[in-house]
Amino acid sequence: MDAAAAYAYLVRTLGFKPSNILVAGESAGGNLAVALGRFLVMYRDVLPRELAPPGGLFLMSPTGDWG
């Protein structure tokens, strides 16, 4: 998942604290932001502690399940 890799880069390589990160997305990007947040929360027990969920999500008309 590219979003998770980018998030890990921000935290591990660049040194940002997860609480200082705001993930934003519009339309399909909003869905991607939700998916990243959900992934980080669901796998919190198996991911390294430094990959805590972000401080927040800013979603603008996220595209959800059309089914």
Q: Which two tokens stand for residue 37?
A: 């947040």
Interatomic CA distance for residues 30 and 43, integer angstroms: 20
Contact 10, 55 (CB under 8 A): no
Q: Which two tokens stand for residue 47?
A: 């991911």
Beta bridge mates, 25: 59
Interatomic CA distance for residues 26 and 2, integer angstroms: 17
Report pLDDT for 63: 86
- pTM (two decimals): 0.88
- Give 16-66 pLDDT, tens digit per residue: 999 999 999 999 999 999 999 999 999 999 999 999 999 999 999 988 777
